[in-house]
């Protein structure tokens, strides 16, 4: 008989509990042992996710079509890979193309921001009645915070910061993104001078005691998330140097660029060096329905400068073998140039760029036809990329699954597969 003060969920035994996987920080489901889960958690693999919000044009970046009906005014320039050309707006990236992997045959479905943004970042799983996590939340859950103790999923973005719990979907709020608005730390993170270190420690002991009492009468997911916030706050208090721009090397600032995106990418490098598991950097302003060519002439050099500087630094620091770099939008832009000299939304045939952990360097995957209007040959949806990214991080999507309170769920769309030609 249940105790009258017990809650219904306290008597529910998930398959994960049955197989003994609760001891790890992962919860990878019934097909992975606690020992393997612990090994995954301790891996030092990381992700840099560069989100180009609004839709970068494939014509003005990774898949130029010069001197064609839809190609636009910009030339194609040779890269460090024989026979491979990028847009002339990417001169720095062209020089380090040997470190990149470019996918030119992406073909997705949603041509609106409201549908495309979450679909792309969640991997478009089949509709199973639950909200899937963004890739950053999935990595935070599956690989954990690592040895750094820092928040496992952080976001550096223009504008306001805050905690984006919605990213976590059914994984629960603990695995949301901690966003640093304009790269600044959360408010009130500095301990007041009026409180000594000993007093602060005493307050935290009292809070921990109260937390244990709270946990006994509330949902485990909510109480764990609440405790997690305090633990992560303490870790950031100890690492306030991550936000100190006065100690940045002036040469680094010059290489990455004094513009907003350059500053954010340089801070992302610091976060990766400190051991943050997943760092997302967002660049806004790419929805070029009007004056696409002047828009990209302004935006692309900033992206190119900071992106190439990051790849070079990760390579020279020996980090590129363990950091997976993803640079992408929610879709590409139309071949047709509209009446406002702009390009509209185009999910049918577009490109993304990758580098680093687990990838074959210098790989150019897929192609579009001569005009760039359709994929020529096999195309890939975002589910294929999720399977591939997980494989790069050492996670076998054919053997590992989520456990949503006893409901087994695949990590990625089970109608898609790993793109083997991308893997090293």
Decide: residue 23, CB within 10 A, 0-12 exposed, 13-18 middle, 19+ buried. exposed
Q: Which two tokens stand for residue 241?
A: 């140097």
Query: Residue 234: what are its φ and ψ, rounded to 5°?
Result: -65, -40
Give the C-alpha separation, 91 to 302, whole Å. Answer: 11
Give the pLDDT confidence of 46-88 residue by residue, as tens digits.
999 999 999 999 999 999 999 999 999 999 999 999 999 999 9
Mean pLDDT of 134-140: 98
Give the pLDDT confidence of 378-402 residue by residue, as tens digits.
999 999 999 999 999 999 999 999 9
Q: Which two tokens stand for residue 112?
A: 């609106």
- With bands split at pLDDT 50, 70 and 90, how would you rate the model's confidence at 130? very high
Q: Where are the domains of the chain?
A: 21-187+239-422
Identify the weakest region by mean pLDDT among 38-42, 145-149, 170-174, 411-415.
38-42
pTM: 0.87
- With bands split at pLDDT 50, 70 and 90, how would you rate the model's confidence at 35? low
Give the pLDDT confidence of 180-202 residue by residue, as tens digits.
999 998 877 777 778 887 887 78
- CATH topology classification for 21-187+239-422: Alkaline Phosphatase, subunit A (3.40.720)
Report the largest interatomic distance among the alpha carbons of the chain, rounded to a whole angstrom. Answer: 78
Identify the weakest region by mean pLDDT among 27-31, 214-218, 319-323.
27-31
Q: Is the pLDDT of residue 376 over 60?
A: yes
């Amino acid at each position: 008989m249940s105790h009258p003060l017990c809650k219904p969920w306290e008597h529910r035994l998930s398959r994960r509990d049955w197989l003994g996987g609760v001891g790890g920080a992962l919860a990878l489901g019934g097909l992975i042992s606690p020992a393997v889960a612990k090994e995954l958690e301790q891996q030092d693999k990381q992700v840099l996710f560069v989100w180009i919000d609004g839709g970068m044009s494939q014509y003005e970046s990774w898949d130029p079509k010069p001197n064609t009906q839809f190609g636009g005014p910009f030339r194609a320039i040779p890269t460090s890979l024989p026979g491979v050309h990028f847009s002339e707006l990417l001169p720095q990236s062209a020089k380090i193309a040997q470190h990149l992997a470019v996918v030119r045959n992406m073909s997705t479905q949603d041509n609106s921001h409201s549908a495309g943004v979450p679909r792309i970042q969640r991997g478009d799983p089949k509709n199973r009645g639950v909200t899937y996590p963004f890739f950053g939340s999935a990595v935070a859950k599956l690989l954990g915070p690592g040895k750094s103790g820092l928040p496992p999923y952080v976001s550096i973005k223009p504008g306001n910061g805050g905690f984006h719990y919605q990213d976590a979907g059914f994984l629960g709020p603990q695995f949301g993104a901690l966003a640093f608005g304009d790269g600044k730390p959360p408010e009130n993170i500095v301990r007041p001078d009026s409180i000594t270190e000993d007093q602060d420690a005493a307050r935290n002991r009292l809070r921990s005691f109260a937390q244990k009492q709270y946990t006994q009468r509330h949902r485990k997911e909510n109480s764990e998330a609440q405790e997690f916030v305090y633990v992560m706050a303490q870790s950031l208090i100890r690492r306030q140097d991550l936000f100190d721009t006065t100690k940045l090397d002036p040469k680094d600032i010059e290489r990455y660029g004094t513009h907003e995106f350059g500053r954010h990418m340089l801070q992302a490098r610091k976060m990766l060096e400190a051991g943050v598991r997943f760092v997302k950097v967002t660049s806004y302003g790419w929805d070029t329905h009007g004056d696409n060519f002047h828009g990209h002439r302004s935006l692309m050099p900033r992206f190119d400068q900071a992106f190439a500087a990051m790849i070079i630094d990760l390579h020279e620091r020996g980090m590129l073998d363990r950091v997976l770099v993803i640079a992408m939008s929610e879709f590409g832009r139309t071949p047709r140039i509209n009446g406002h000299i702009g390009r509209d939304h185009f999910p049918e045939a577009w490109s993304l760029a990758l580098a680093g952990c687990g990838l074959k360097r210098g790989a150019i995957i897929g192609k579009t036809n001569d005009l760039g209007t359709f994929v020529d040959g096999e195309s890939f949806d975002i589910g294929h990329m999720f399977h591939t990214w997980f494989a790069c991080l050492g996670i076998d999507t054919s053997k590992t699954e989520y456990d949503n309170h006893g409901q087994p769920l695949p990590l990625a769309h089970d109608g898609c597969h790993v793109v083997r030609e991308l893997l090293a």
